[in-house]
Homo-oligomer: A and B are copies of this chain.
Amino acid sequence: MPTPNTRLTTFLDNCRNRIDAELERQLSSAGNGSERLQAAMRYSVLGGGKRIRPALCLAAAAAVGQAHENAIVPASALELIHAYSLIHDDLPAMDDDELRRGRATTHIAFDEATAILAGDALQTMAFGWLAEAPGLVDQVRLAMIRELASASGHLGMVGGQAIDLESVGKSLTIEQLEKMHRHKTGALIAASVRMGALTAADVTEDQLAALTIYSQTLGLAFQVQDDLLDIEGDTTVIGKPQGSDLARAKPTYPSLLGTAGARDYLSQLLESALASLEGFGKEGDLLRDMAGYVVARTH
């Protein structure tokens, strides 16, 4: 029997390979549009990434007894949405980032207009893929589209990015900080888990409710760990212009709770996430592994 660590590593590797192959396959069809636009879409989507959201989707499918097969397209659609959000967040008018995953961001590698359009087209593509996802009945496809729209729109991810931009330089309460993160990253992480569970047309309300709590808790844990990694990161980065940090000072969990307080909170969140999976037997193990991975990841 593999140790949890081997099991997780194997799962994450397999998942990344399957998802990358699917994204590659679907994005390589020639089409009859703009070559430059399509190159920017490929660059943004196929440039690596941990594929955490797809992995959560596949792990949730496993938790309700479903084969990975039917979750591959939904998982890939989630990655399209994630990729589009990164392109737009990196734009000069937003976070103005020139590097991501060690490569030039899309608007630097191409140009700003192409980056905006590539993000737009990737969002469209995600919904188009869900509407044609193989192995799923129409009712499930529509439930997933509603889930993704709700999680990524103005009351989800995009709303969170707007709240984030409004928060720059402001002092937030912990409640306000959590509201921002619940929207900005939490909603899409929750949708990843819920869409995986929806691959089982007979998923129960109880199962969905438990997985929703799991995924919302995990979404917060993800952000706390992100904030902690940012601090670690900052101390090792040399020559980062301090002025830009100050100018864009964003509230974080460590800044509100202290580093030790943030670590304690992270442990509590992990415990809650695992507790929410109590109703699941061995089939929930991949989700348990993923929770451990999210709080322990180093990048």
Q: Which residues of A contact B (CB under 8 A)?
A: 31-34, 36-38, 41, 84, 88, 91, 93-94, 111-114, 116-117, 119-121, 123-125, 127-128, 130-132, 138-139, 141-142, 145-146, 149-150, 152-156, 158-163, 165-166, 179, 183
Contact = CB atoms under 8 A, between A and B. Distances in A.
Contact of A125 (B114, B149, B165): B149
Nearest to A94: B113
A128 B88 CA distance: 20
Most buried by B among A116, A120, A123, A142: A120
B94 A37 contact: no
A138 B141 CA distance: 9
Contacts of A162: 33-34, 36-37, 113-114, 117
Chain copies in the assembled complex: 2
A81 to B, nearest CB: 9
A31 B183 CA distance: 12
A112 B162 CA distance: 11
A159 B127 contact: no
A98 to B, nearest CB: 15
Contact of A123 (B120, B161, B163): B120
11 contacts: A33-B160, A41-B154, A84-B120, A93-B112, A93-B113, A114-B162, A114-B165, A121-B153, A128-B150, A131-B149, A142-B142
A248 B125 CA distance: 30
A183 B163 CA distance: 34
B131 A183 contact: no
Contact of A152 (B124, B131, B160, B179): B124
A88 B141 CA distance: 29
A133 B179 CA distance: 29
Nearest to A142: B131
Most buried by B among A152, A158, A160: A158
Ranked nearest first, the 10 interchain pairs of A and B with the lowest CB-CB distance are: A33-B159, A128-B149, A34-B162, A93-B112, A124-B153, A121-B154, A37-B162, A138-B138, A127-B127, A131-B145
Nearest to A149: B128
B113 A154 contact: no
B131 A146 contact: yes
Given A111-B93, A128-B145, A128-B149, A117 B161 contact: yes
A38 B93 contact: no
Nearest to A159: B33
A125 B124 CA distance: 11
B154 A124 contact: yes
Given A33-B183, A119-B120, 16 more contacts: A31-B155, A33-B162, A34-B154, A37-B158, A84-B120, A93-B112, A113-B162, A117-B162, A120-B158, A121-B153, A121-B154, A121-B158, A121-B159, A124-B149, A128-B146, A141-B142
